[in-house]
């Protein structure tokens, strides 16, 4: 039985998540302790800032499930109330579906984010290193990674940026094609401007100039990008050089006016100019947007793009849910087949034992056979046994994949006296 116990950002407030995260992280031999719980066959745990989850293959006993739950609550220092309201327990199809949704980033705070897949892979790698997983979880995890890959390639869930700073980078790419060698001017040293600049530089933009009222702050930020710091008075000259301008000062009036941009058009030889105004109140005169080859986006424009992209992600999420359902059905079918496997193995081994015993009994007269005839008789006997076993083995596999395997497996064990 597959079981998943845990909590996430939807069920638990940050304070509870923090407590559980810290409590579990501090434990040494966490996996070994978990494997020591009665009935736990395979296990792995996933810790991220938004979720703490245990995934296990266990013997079918309600006690094991309860013990896993209380184990987590105990190490996290959760109160009984928190345990009841925050922890969830899924089993079988629901647990598999939840895992596939998590890995495919359908359960993430920002749907479609790429980080979670890496975190799940890391959790699996740790469990593998400590031999905490076996056939059921190994197969389950590979299926989960496959589902995540399908979701990424068959839907556009991660296609468009859903943060303001990434939206700005995407726009810059749509304007310039490549950001390699593009000159960036940062006006003001706000956090948001810094984040946007970091993303731009990460995508190839270089030659960063920081203009700020406080020279010290400008120098500090410029040093981070190995750029130069200038004062706000030299803004006119810097505007002529820049390709991308990010502005986020606390100034009460416009820092960049239409006239300033118009004045430097000739010097710029009409090069494309992308202005990102993330300040409130605005830093850049909206009239600038009317100038040819100049593209001005303020915080609302960027937020509109982000909202639109979020809407698209949610739409793509519906397609992704369908993929998850398909993959769950396939895995559950394989898992059910697995339940019949021990019976099939016992049946085959019993048949082999019978063949071997009977051949030994007959060895007296078979030894008198001419060259090669003994092998032919042995092959014939094996062939007959395999043919007889083929039908019950196939039926057991098929039945157990489609329906509950218990009745057919029990019948087979009784018919062939496998438990004697």
Partner 1 sequence: MTSVEMKFFVVALVSCSLATAGYLLSLVVKKVRLAKISTWILAAGFIGLTLNLFWGGIHSEGWSSFGSRYFLSIYAWVIACIYLGLQFRTKTRTLGAFIAPCILMFLIAAAGQETDKNLVPPQWQGWLTSLHLALAIAGEGLFVLASAAGAMFLIQNRLLKHKKPGPLGRLLPSLGDLDRINHLGLLWGFPLLTVGIIGGVIYAVFVWGGQWLADPKVLWSLAIWMVNGFLLHQRLAIGWKGSRMAALSFAGLIVFLCSALLIRFCLATVHNFI
Active site residues: 49
Residue 178 interacting with partner 1 (CB under 8 A):
yes
Measured CA to CA, the distance from residue 169 to residue 178 in angstroms comes to 10
Instruction: Kindly tell me which residue out of 124, 254, 297, 331 binds partner 1, with binding defined by CB under 8 A.
Output: 297
Closer CB to partner 1, 110 or 299, in the complex: 299
Tokens of 202: 């990460």
Measured CA to CA, the distance from residue 63 to residue 38 in angstroms comes to 9
Residue 295 interacting with partner 1 (CB under 8 A):
yes
Tokens of 68: 């896993």
Measured CA to CA, the distance from residue 136 to residue 216 in angstroms comes to 59
In the bound complex, what is the minimum distance in angstroms from residue 16's beta carbon to partner 1? 40
Q: Give the total of residues touching partner 1 (CB under 8 A).
A: 25
Stretch of residues binding partner 1 (CB under 8 A), selected from 47-55, 101-109, 277-285, 299-307:
299-307
Site mask for partner 1 (CB under 8 A), range 305-324, x = bound: x--x----------------
Stretch of residues binding partner 1 (CB under 8 A), selected from 199-207, 296-304, 358-366, 411-419:
296-304
Tokens of 254: 């416009």
How many Cα atoms within 13 Å fall on the side-chain side of residue 323? 26
Stretch of residues binding partner 1 (CB under 8 A), selected from 134-142, 287-295, 343-351, 379-387:
287-295
Site for partner 1 in 148-167 (CB under 8 A): 159-160
Closer CB to partner 1, 8 or 160, in the complex: 160
Stretch of residues binding partner 1 (CB under 8 A), selected from 64-72, 174-182, 196-204, 331-339:
174-182
Site mask for partner 1 (CB under 8 A), range 228-267, x = bound: --------------------------------------x-
Angle between helix 299-361 and 373-402 (nearest 10): 140
Residue 282 interacting with partner 1 (CB under 8 A):
no
In the bound complex, what is the minimum distance in angstroms from residue 315's beta carbon to partner 1? 12
Measured CA to CA, the distance from residue 169 to residue 198 in angstroms comes to 10
Closer CB to partner 1, 45 or 176, in the complex: 176
Q: What is the residue whose two structure tokens read 């394989």? A: 334
Q: Are strands 273-277 and 294-298 parallel, antiparallel or unpaired?
A: parallel
Residue 239 and residue 185 in contact, taking contact as beta carbons nearer than 8 Å:
yes
DSSP-based three-state secondary structure for 188: coil
The string of DSSP codes covering 318-349 is HHHHHHHHHHHHHHHHHHHHHHHHHHHHHHHH
Tokens of 118: 């890496």
Q: Which residues bind partner 1 (CB under 8 A)?
A: 159-160, 170-171, 173-178, 266, 268-272, 289, 292-293, 295, 297, 301, 304-305, 308
């Amino acid at each position: 039985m597959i079981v998943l116990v845990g909590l996430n950002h939807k069920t638990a407030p940050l304070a509870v998540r923090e407590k559980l995260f810290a409590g579990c992280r501090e434990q040494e031999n966490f996996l070994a302790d978990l494997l020591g719980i009665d009935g736990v066959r395979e296990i792995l745990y996933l810790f991220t800032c938004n979720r703490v989850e245990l995934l296990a293959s266990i013997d079918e006993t309600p006690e094991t499930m309860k013990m896993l739950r209380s184990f987590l609550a105990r190490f996290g220092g959760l109160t009984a109330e928190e345990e009841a309201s925050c922890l969830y327990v899924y089993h079988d199809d629901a647990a598999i579906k939840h895992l596939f949704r998590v890995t495919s980033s359908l359960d993430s705070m920002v749907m479609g984010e790429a980080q979670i897949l890496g975190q799940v892979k890391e959790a699996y790698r740790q469990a593998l290193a400590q031999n905490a997983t076996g056939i059921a979880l190994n197969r389950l995890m590979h299926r989960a990674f496959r589902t995540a890959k399908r979701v990424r390639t068959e839907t556009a869930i991660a296609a468009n940026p859903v943060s303001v700073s990434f939206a700005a980078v995407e726009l810059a790419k749509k304007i310039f094609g490549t950001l390699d060698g593009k000159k960036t001017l940062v006006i003001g040293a706000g956090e948001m401007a810094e984040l946007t600049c970091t993303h731009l530089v990460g995508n190839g933009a270089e030659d960063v100039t920081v203009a700020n009222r406080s020279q010290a702050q400008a120098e500090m930020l410029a040093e981070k990008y190995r750029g130069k710091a200038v004062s706000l008075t030299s803004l006119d000259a810097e505007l002529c050089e820049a390709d991308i301008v990010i502005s986020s000062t606390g100034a009460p009036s416009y820092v960049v006016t239409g006239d300033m941009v118009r004045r430097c058009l000739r010097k710029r030889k009409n090069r494309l100019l992308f202005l990102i105004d993330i300040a409130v109140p605005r830093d850049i005169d909206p009239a600038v947007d009317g100038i040819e080859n100049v593209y001005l986006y303020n915080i609302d424009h960027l937020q509109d793009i982000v909202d639109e992209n979020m809407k698209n992600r949610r739409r793509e999420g519906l397609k992704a849910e369908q993929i998850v359902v398909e993959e769950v059905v396939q895995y559950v079918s394989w898992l059910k087949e697995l339940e019949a496997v021990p019976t099939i193995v016992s049946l085959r081994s019993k048949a082999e034992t019978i063949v071997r015993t009977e051949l030994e009994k007959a060895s007296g007269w078979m030894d008198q056979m001419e060259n090669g005839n003994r092998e032919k008789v042995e092959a014939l006997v094996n062939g007959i046994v395999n043919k007889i076993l083929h039908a019950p083995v196939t039926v057991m596999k098929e039945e157990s994949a489609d329906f509950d395997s218990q009745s057919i497996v029990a019948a087979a064990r009784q018919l062939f006296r496998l438990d004697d």
